[in-house]
Amino acid sequence: MVRLCWRRLAASLVLAAVAILANSASAATLTPIGPFTGDFSDDFNRFSNVQAVQVLDVFSNHGVIRNLTSGGAIKVEFSSQLNGDLVVPISGLMMGQLGIARWEFNEPVSRFGGWWENNSGADDATATFFDSQGNSLGSMIVRDPVQAQTWTWNGWESDVPVNSIQVVGNGLINGFIWYDNVQMTLAVPEPGAIGAMTVASLWLCSRKRHGSPMPSITRS
């Protein structure tokens, strides 16, 4: 009887884990949100000079932004001018992608946003969100008009934890997208469904193991 109980417990845990993984692979609800103050922020003013790298630490080493385009780069700049279109930081320095880029978070996030600028020659970009397994959770259009000549806020909230975001611009080399004062909020773990079920199952198995009678329900 005890062995059967433990086997049932193991099978239940496996089924619960599969169900949770299947749920995380489903499309998320991605909701545009206004400016917010996250758990971590980055204005890139910690750098003392310009940078041109393939991977840049962001959010106090809680993530990176990675270049995905051959010949491209992740840059930290005091300004950027392309075909007469000048972009300057909100304060100090700004960060930009010259090519397709991917934000990668060390811990899953529920909210991400920041101020965006663009001198790529074409409006807007596309942000695609991914879970920890690399499954796409959906895509959003980034409103970043090339003629605006000003910084534009874009931010989103996801009901499924996000582990990375890929940004593809519509202009030159899919880049010349710039960021300042970016924010991110860590995802709050869902109530431990597996943990709760495990505790309950262990309690039942323990009662059977020690021969304790199961509680009865008396109808009034």
Average pLDDT over residues 4-26: 46
Query: What's residue 190's pLDDT?
Result: 59
Instruction: Report in angstroms the alpha-carbon separations of 79 from 16, 113, 142, 176.
Output: 51, 21, 21, 12
Query: What's residue 168's pLDDT?
Result: 98
* More confident of the two residues 113 and 7: 113
How do residues 170-196 score in pLDDT, each as one tens digit? 999 999 999 999 999 999 875 554 454
What is d(CA 139, CA 125) in angstroms, rounded to the nearest whole number?
10
Q: Domain locations in the chain?
A: 2-19+193-209, 26-186
How do residues 97-128 score in pLDDT, each as one tens digit? 999 999 999 999 999 999 999 999 999 999 99
Record: fold of 26-186: Jelly Rolls (2.60.120)
* Neighbouring C-beta atoms of residue 85, cutoff 10 Å: 16
67 residue type, one letter: N
How do residues 122-152 score in pLDDT, each as one tens digit? 999 999 999 999 999 999 999 999 987 899 9
Report if pTM > 0.95: no
> What's the chain's average pLDDT?
84
Runs of H (alpha helix) within the chain: 2-24, 193-209
* More confident of the two residues 101 and 2: 101
Share of the chain above pLDDT 70, in %: 74
- What tokens does 72 get? 């491209």
Identify which of 157, 92, 150 has the alpha carbon closest to the alpha carbon of residue 127: 157
